[in-house]
Amino acid sequence: MLIMDAYDIFKKLTKGLTFKNKVLGVKNNGQVSKPAIKKEEIEIKEEKISDTEEELNNGVENSGTESEDQNSDEEEQDDLQLVEGVKVRQEKKKKQKKEKTEDLKKKLELEEQNRFRNEHGIKTVGRHVPAALQDFSELVSRYNVSQALVDTVKQCGYSEPTPVQRQAMPCMLEDRQILACAPTGSGKTAAFLVPILHALGAPQGGPRALILCPTRELAQQIYREALRLSASSQLRCSVVRSIKESKVKEREATIRKSDIIVSTPNRLCYLLNQDNVNISLEKIRWLIIDEADKLFEGSEDQSSDFRQQMEQILAACGSKQRRVAMFSATHTPRLAQWSRRHLRGLINITVGHRNAATNLVDQELLFCGNESGKLVAFRQLVQQGLKPPVLVFVQSKDRAKQLFKELIYDGINVDVIHADRTQLQRDNVVRSFRVGRIWVLICTELMGRGIDFRGVNLVINYDFPPSAIAYIHRIGRAGRAGQKGRAITFFTQDDVANLRSIASVMQQSGCAVPEYMLQLRQDPNKRKKLLTKAPRRDNISTRLEKRPDKRKLEAADEVMKADKTKPTDSIKNAKNNKNRRTQNLEQNKQKHDNKADSKNNKKRKKKNLGNKKNKKVVKT
């Protein structure tokens, strides 16, 4: 009986062979080292080895010695035969080489795409992100976009795609949901309108694309841009304007006929809540949310907020084919959290630095001391020479009215826009400002987002913005479409809470900022209060005011005088009340006496009549 294990059989079969790769139990010098393996005894019957088997073993040994002398190239081409019927071919290595070349090509393409994105300041986060556009002609070659639509885009003034258009258009054309954050004036409106016009194709009846924005002025602006870009197609666009009871049916008819709807959340929710209005949003394929960070402010519990209205609209757009694309110039954690939860296959697109102002705007901070100093500083700017058009931002509509009354007599073509004015007045003011009849426009946060006034040279923050995001949107009205602009922000001692955050925004955009502003301490509680409620400020006026300490003393004196006059007034009032009571008592006595006299007179008359009758009877 001969006892052999698998290792002994392998050793005997591979005697004299050399291996390129390391084999278990084989040393580098060719000597075989047995690992410590427990042998299992296997009984094998002794058989006589035939002549053919001996020749086969000798052939294996000879082939091993010959393979040592041959070159490595010949080893790759010839097959290696160990036992009859067992061959090791080199085809697998060739397949691996082919796979490696394909992987290298893909890696090179990805590196080229990333290099192109870095050149244009584009950052993307997501899986299988489409390649960015290098030119508008790729829309025709890659996505079969009609040449007429591309020609209309070029006629609208876009010679080459902007960074946000380079990445957002391919993502939307491949039906990917996106969250795009790009600076103000970077062409976000055209970035979502062109893919929508291509995706909808021919009109079918009923709304299939819905665009939401926070203000009516921005909705009107998007509507005008949609009309320009859809000139080559037969698609119908409409904007939800006034929603009076007399025009509700008219709005319902226009929405049913149109393919693209532009509206604010409040007006659309009002129409959806009406019982006599039948509007269906089930065919909506694309839902675009412009200025998304503003629309997702607040909590879901407050019905007056944009957040609650957005939830209602998203529930109404219940189609499975619905895609959501959100655009904004600023990025907030609430928006990012919501998009990660609700948008499947999301791609985050960021152009430039996140929450940073444009580099085309020269930003300045001007200390004015107090409220009267702001008006003096503004008039100094007017004397130095202003290049209209100019936008002036204040924190409330009351302050806008006060500033308008002060500037209207300075010989400046000035007007004001705020929420108290009617829609017709607001439209006329915006139109005249675009034409150039108005040089200086005083406005609130209403005009701080999305409004495209091309050619605005100067933005003045008369009242300090409540947050860095509001500051970015305000100064973004200047420096649009590649033009340079200027922004001046007035601040006082009361505005130190947010000064550091805005100074850091200015530093990111390349503006010079004093070092002490970047080292100021921030109070988070004050900053939260400023977001919810605007700070109290003195009225805007041109009269000379006394120092605050004297004003406090005068106020205290007035309070003391008021306290002194209180007892005298009360005594006088008490005397008057007594006099009134006595007069009333006297009047009541007189009335009572008069009544008693009248009763006595009646009794006397009756007695006299009775005496006369008795006398007549006696005579008879």
pLDDT reported for residue 172 = 96
Under DSSP, is residue 366 helix (H, G, I), strand (E, B) or coil? strand
Q: Which backbone phi and psi does 417 adopt, to 5 degrees?
A: -135, 130
More confident residue, 166 or 615: 166
pLDDT reported for residue 34 = 47
DSSP 309: H
What 395-403 contacts at long range (C-beta under 8 Å, 24+ apart), as own/partner pairs, is 395/444, 395/445, 395/463, 395/466, 395/534, 395/535, 395/537, 396/444, 396/534, 397/444, 399/463, 399/537, 399/540, 400/442, 400/443, 400/444, 402/539, 402/540, 402/541, 403/375, 403/442, 403/462, 403/540
| Residue 74: HSE in the Cβ half-sphere, 13 Å Cα cutoff | 6
Whether this prediction's pTM lies above 0.75 is answered by: no
Q: Are 312 and 303 in contact (CB under 8 A)?
A: no
Q: What region does 126 belong to: left with phi over 0, alpha with psi -120 to 50, or beta?
A: left
Structure tokens at 105: 């090509």
Structure tokens at 8: 């002994």
- The Cα diameter of the chain in Å comes to 195
pLDDT reported for residue 318 = 77
More confident residue, 512 or 610: 512
pLDDT reported for residue 594 = 72
Where residue 65 falls among pLDDT bands split at 50, 70, 90? Answer: very low
Residues 6+ apart with CB under 8 A from 332: 293, 296, 469
Q: Are 229 and 197 in contact (CB under 8 A)?
A: yes
pLDDT reported for residue 590 = 76
Where residue 191 falls among pLDDT bands split at 50, 70, 90? Answer: very high
Lowest mean pLDDT among 166-170, 230-234, 383-387: 383-387
Q: Kindly tell me if the per-residue pLDDT of 426 is higher than 60.
A: yes
Mean pLDDT of 433-453: 88
Q: Kindly tell me if the per-residue pLDDT of 77 is higher than 80.
A: no
Q: Kindly tell me if the per-residue pLDDT of 497 is higher than 70.
A: yes
Q: Kindly tell me if the per-residue pLDDT of 54 is higher than 90.
A: no
Highest mean pLDDT among 51-55, 132-136, 516-520: 132-136
Mean pLDDT of 18-42: 51
User: What length does the chain have?
Assistant: 620
Residues 6+ apart with CB under 8 A from 179: 292, 325, 326, 335, 336, 339, 343, 346, 347, 348, 349
- DSSP states of 475-539 as a string? HTTSS-TT--EEEEEEEEGGGGGGHHHHHHHHHHTT----HHHHT----HHHHHHHHHSPPP-PP
Q: How do beta strands 347-351 and 122-125 pair?
A: antiparallel
pLDDT reported for residue 569 = 55
Mean pLDDT of 166-181: 96
pLDDT reported for residue 52 = 46
Question: What is the C-alpha R_g of the chain?
Answer: 44
Where residue 370 falls among pLDDT bands split at 50, 70, 90? Answer: confident
Q: Are 206 and 283 in contact (CB under 8 A)?
A: yes
Where residue 71 falls among pLDDT bands split at 50, 70, 90? Answer: very low
Q: Kindly tell me if the per-residue pLDDT of 89 is higher than 70.
A: no
- DSSP states of 81-127 as a string? EEETTEEE-SHHHHHHHHHHHHHHHHHHHHHHHHHHHHHTTEEEESS
pLDDT digits (tens, 9 = 90+) for 259-284: 999 999 988 998 888 888 888 899 99
Burial of 308 (0-12, 13-18, 19+ CB in 10 A): middle
Where residue 46 falls among pLDDT bands split at 50, 70, 90? Answer: very low
Percent pLDDT > 70 in the chain is: 76
Q: Are 354 and 426 in contact (CB under 8 A)?
A: no
The DSSP H or E segment spanning 351 is strand 347-351
Mean pLDDT of 469-477: 91
Where residue 38 falls among pLDDT bands split at 50, 70, 90? Answer: very low
Q: Are 372 and 403 in contact (CB under 8 A)?
A: no
Burial of 377 (0-12, 13-18, 19+ CB in 10 A): middle
The mean of the pLDDT values for the chain is 80
Mean pLDDT of 498-520: 90
CA distance 556 to 332: 47
Considering only CA atoms, which of 354, 353, 280 is closest in space to residue 313? Answer: 280
Q: What region does 550 belong to: left with phi over 0, alpha with psi -120 to 50, or beta?
A: alpha
Considering only CA atoms, which of 347, 351, 354 is closest in space to residue 125? Answer: 347
Q: Kindly tell me if the per-residue pLDDT of 572 is higher than 70.
A: no
DSSP 26: B
Under DSSP, is residue 583 helix (H, G, I), strand (E, B) or coil? helix
More confident residue, 70 or 551: 551
User: Amino acid identity of 213?
Assistant: C
Under DSSP, is residue 242 helix (H, G, I), strand (E, B) or coil? coil
Q: Kindly tell me if the per-residue pLDDT of 138 is higher than 90.
A: yes
- DSSP states of 28-78 as a string? TTS-B----------EE---PPPHHHHHHHHHHHHHHHHHHHS-HHHHHHS
pLDDT reported for residue 542 = 66
Where residue 586 falls among pLDDT bands split at 50, 70, 90? Answer: confident
Q: Are 287 and 212 in contact (CB under 8 A)?
A: yes
Q: Kindly tell me if the per-residue pLDDT of 220 is higher than 50.
A: yes
Q: What region does 395 belong to: left with phi over 0, alpha with psi -120 to 50, or beta?
A: alpha
DSSP lists the bridge partners of residue 461 as 393, 489
pLDDT reported for residue 385 = 86
Q: Kindly tell me if the per-residue pLDDT of 60 is higher than 60.
A: no
Considering only CA atoms, which of 518, 493, 494, 515 is closest in space to residue 505? Answer: 518
Mean pLDDT of 517-525: 83
Mean pLDDT of 555-569: 59
CA distance 370 to 375: 9
More confident residue, 39 or 318: 318
